[in-house]
Every structure is written in C-alpha cells, then in structure tokens.
Amino acid sequence: MERVLVTGGAGFIGSNFVKLLLGRKRKVHVTVLDKLTYAGNLKNLEEVINRRDFTFIKGDICNKKILDEILPRTDIIYNFAAETHVDRSILEAGSFVRTDIVGTYTLLQKTLEHKIDRFVQVSTDEVYGSIARGKFRETDPIEPNSPYSASKSGADLLVRAFHVTYGLPVLITRSSNNYGPFQHPEKFIPLFITNALEGNPMPLYGDGRNVRDWIHVDDNCRAIELVGRRGKVGEVYNIGAGEEKENIYIARKIIDLVGASEDLLTLVTDRPGHDRRYALDSKKINRLGWKKRVGFDKGLETTVRWYRRNESWWRPIKKGAFKKYYSAMYGKRISQASKRKGKR
C-alpha cells in the first residue's frame, strides 16, 4: 500500500486532493501535515478525518523534527503547503518567503535524507508572470511579479536544483487559477459569491478586464495525481483548462446566478503589480492522458450552489480575523468608489 504525505492538506486544493485519493479504488494511506494557518480548516477534512487510512498531523513544513518522524513512513510527497494569496503577500511578504521557500527547502532536504520515491511540488502559472498574447509553455522563463509568485518561483528553482544536483526524484505541476468547493472566501470567486449572497459590494480591481485561465479544482486534483503516478521525473507540467475569462465576466455571471443586484459591482483601485493575463499551454499534460471534465460555466454554477448550501462553512470564516483583513484590504478602496459613484 502506497503511503502518501499531503502537506497543506487542510487547505482548499489539498483537502479536495485528499478526498480524491481516498475515494479511489487503489489502496493508499494518506497523512496530512498542515500548520492550520488562517487558510487551513479541519472542517475541510470532516468526511475523512476518522478513517483508518487517514492521519492528520498539525505541524509546520519548516519543522525538521516532525519531518524526521513522518518521512520514514512515506513513499510519495505532494507539497501543497504554502502561503497562497497575492493580496496578503503585498501586505506582508515574510511568511511567504518562510513557508514557500524555506519550507520547501526543508522538505527537499529531508526528502533527500529519507530517500522518498517521489516529490511532487504543487506550483502555479503565476511563476511565469503576465502574458499579453499566446500561452505559457513549460520551457518559458520564470518572471514572477508578486511576492507570492516570487516565493513560489524560489521553491520551483530549489526543486529543480535538488533534482539536477542530487538526483532527487521531483516533479512540478503549474496550474492556473482554481475554483470550487472549500475555497477560502478571501479569494476572488468565493469572495464575490459570498458578498453577493450577503448583499455586499463586489470589489473589482482596476477596469475588471484582467484575465485568468480558470480550472475546476477536481480537474486540477486529477491532473496532479496523474503527474505523481505517471509523470516523468525532473519534468514540469502545466495544468490549465483553457477557460480564459475576464474578471468582469465572472462577476456578472455570479450576479446572475445569485440573483443579486448589478449595483453591487464596484470598481476599486487596482492591486499593485497586477498581472494582466495568464494563459497556459497544457498539451504536455494532455499527452500524459489528462483532459478537463468541467466546463467553466457549469463549474461556476455548481460552485455557487455549494456556497449557497454551505453557509455554515463560510459564515464563521468571514467573522473575526477576516473582518480586520477585509477592512485593511478594501475599506478605503470601497469608500472611495462609493464617493465616486455618488458624484456621478
């Protein structure tokens, strides 16, 4: 039986990934190592937490001692653990450098010492920077623009170096923006869905015309699992669904699906260094045998339905510390936008 370590498995993509692994016929034992930061939530793992083929350990990927305890019982590592929100990285970059770079380095070093079969680094298309036309390929240079994407790039380069220098059996996935159930309500799609449900302003950055290539989390999880099982060691795999959408298109769709008022749409001061467009060439993962199953419009509809039915999951998150973050990030921008609206 394969023994799998999923770091960051109490977060959005990691928790969906754990459920995918445990839902398969193939017998595995899954251990989650997660620090339970503001983004980690044990409720995301409720349906698997008591299973005998599942173990949860609260801890930091920077903690060598914990890794020395877990890794002798591990065959394959999927490293999802990271600080992940671009906006937070603009407010405070230190925790991104610590977890995304130093944490990944610590895991790599311990993976080497404990002779693990495979190390899958879960990375992002944001390492490539912004692209005006065409699509990013795996061979394109890394040109990150935010402290988040720079930290993830640092991790990717260390992963590559551990392969080239020490022969560590690594693989890297770079997926585009994910959406789906259990995504923290500070990220674009869940923030807009929950604000619409609450009747609160939906703060669109800049002109609302930035483009992201959206992928449903289930599709990404299937691709990551495939890379872990069948990918070629030392290689990078882009994972995108080819669903390029402007933010304003998504915001309008959410308004329609929720039945909210157009007046909630609020253009606010742009994010500094805001990448204009991401788009991925995913032919390499297609050749490995993966293709998307969930189209964007259908996926958004089921996601809106999930947030509607799971208020008991997101409402508590939006209380407490979230409020402080929200007012630091949006308070001034939204009141400026309301003043501008009032003058018209």
The distance of closest approach from Cβ of residue 35 to ligand TYD in the complex, given in angstroms and rounded to an integer, is 20
Size of the site for ligand TYD (CB under 6 A): 13
**Residue 204 engages ligand TYD in binding (rule: CB under 6 A):** yes
Q: Where are the alpha helices (DSSP H) in 4-46?
A: 12-23
| Alpha-carbon distance values, 118 to 163, 230, 288 (Å) | 11, 11, 17
289: exposed, middle or buried (Cβ count in 10 Å: 0-12, 13-18, 19+): exposed
225 binds, among ligand TYD, ligand NAD, none (CB under 5 to 8 A by kind): none
Residue numbers 149-168 binding ligand TYD by CB under 6 A: none
What does 11 interact with, of ligand NAD, ligand TYD, none (CB < 5 to 8 A by kind)?
Answer: ligand NAD
State in angstroms the smallest separation of the CB of 164 from ligand TYD. Answer: 28
Exactly one of 4, 5, 8, 142 binds ligand NAD (CB under 6 A); that residue is 8
148 carries an active-site annotation:
yes
Kindly report the backbone phi and psi dihedral angles of residue 132, in degrees, each rounded to the nearest multiple of 5, phi listed first.
Answer: -75, -45
Tokens representing residue 186 in the block? 């500070």
**Stretch binding ligand NAD (CB under 6 A), from 27-35, 67-75, 197-205, 264-272:** 27-35
238 is a site residue for ligand NAD (CB under 6 A): no
> Among 32-40, 132-140, 274-282, 333-341, which window interacts with ligand NAD (CB under 6 A)?
32-40
Residue nearest to ligand TYD (CB): 188
Q: How far is the CB of 156 from ligand NAD (least distance, A)?
A: 10
Question: Cα(216)–Cα(251) distance, rounded to whole angstroms?
Answer: 17
What number of chain residues touch ligand NAD (CB under 6 A)?
31
Q: Identify the active-site residue in 34, 83, 125, 213.
A: 125
Name the residue with the smallest CB distance to ligand NAD.
11
Which one, 60 or 83, has the nearer CB to ligand TYD? Answer: 83
User: Quick one: what does residue 303 bind among ligand NAD, ligand TYD, none, with the CB cut-off 5 to 8 Å set by partner type?
Assistant: none
Q: Which of 178, 195, 266, 282 binds ligand NAD (CB under 6 A)?
A: 178
Coil, helix or strand at residue 99: helix
Q: Which of 4, 6, 60, 70 lies at the binding interface for ligand NAD (CB under 6 A)?
A: 60
CB of 116 to ligand TYD, least distance (A): 29
- Pick one of 4, 18, 30, 40: the residue that binds ligand NAD (CB under 6 A): 40
Residue ranges of the alpha helices (H) in 40-146? 64-70, 86-91, 94-96, 104-114
Residue 121 forms beta bridges with which residues?
79, 172
Residue count (the chain):
344
Instruction: Answer whether 127's CB lies under 8 Å from 156's CB.
Output: yes
From 87, 126, 218, 244, active-site residue: 126
- Is 210 among the residues that bind ligand NAD (CB under 6 A)? no
Angle (CA) 120-241-148 rounded to 5° is 55
Applying the rule CB under 6 A, the residues between 94 and 123 that interact with ligand NAD are 99, 103, 122
Q: Are 204 and 265 in contact (CB under 8 A)?
A: yes
From 11-19, 49-57, 185-193, 336-344, give the range in contact with ligand TYD by CB under 6 A.
185-193
Q: Which residues are CB-contacts of 25 (< 8 A; sequence separation ≥ 6)?
A: none
Looking at residue 126, what DSSP letter applies?
Answer: G
If one counts every other C-beta atom within 10 angstroms of the C-beta of residue 113, the result is: 12
Answer with the entry of ligand NAD, ligand TYD, none that 210 interacts with (C-beta below 5 to 8 A by kind).
ligand TYD
Residue 273, Ramachandran bin (φ over 0: left; ψ between -120 and 50: alpha; else beta): left
Work out what residue 244 binds among ligand NAD, ligand TYD, none; the CB cut-off runs from 5 to 8 Å by kind.
none
Q: Which residues are catalytic?
A: 125-126, 148
